[in-house]
């Protein structure tokens, strides 16, 4: 399992830590200083899913009037990992 740290922009969260299994699936996601319930829910839903699947589902989601959101920033982090 590999640990990846991503510093998001445009959201309340200050750090996203993603653990990826050897088969390119998500082991867990930790969102620091974001909305606790939403962060735990997103992590639970992403657990065991392939990186590409999660990117497809989360990319482009916006939060209120912001141009991004925690899910969108997770997708950006996963895209960076997947390069």
Q: In the beta sheet, which residues pair with residue 50?
A: 25
Q: 3-state DSSP call for residue 17? A: strand
Asked if residue 49 lies in contact with residue 25, where contact means CB atoms within 8 angstroms, the answer is yes
Instruction: For residue range 62-83, list pLDDT tens digits in order.
Output: 988 889 999 999 999 999 999 8
Cα separation, 45 vs 54, whole angstroms:
9
Domain region containing 74: 2-81
Instruction: For residue range 2-11, list pLDDT tens digits in order.
Output: 999 999 999 9
Burial tier of 1 (Cβ tally within 10 Å: 0-12, 13-18, 19+): exposed
Per this entry, what is the length of the chain? 83
pTM, entire model: 0.94
What's the domain count of the chain?
1
Q: What is the CATH number of the domain that holds 45?
A: 3.30.390
């Amino acid at each position: 399992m590999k640990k990846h740290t991503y510093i998001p922009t445009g959201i309340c969260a200050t750090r996203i830590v993603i653990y990826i299994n050897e088969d390119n699936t998500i082991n867990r996601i930790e969102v620091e200083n974001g909305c606790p319930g939403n962060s735990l829910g997103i992590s639970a839903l992403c657990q065991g899913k392939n990186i590409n699947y999660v990117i497809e589902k989360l990319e482009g989601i916006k939060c209120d009037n912001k141009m991004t959101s925690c899910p969108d920033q997770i997708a950006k982090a996963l895209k960076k990992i997947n390069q």
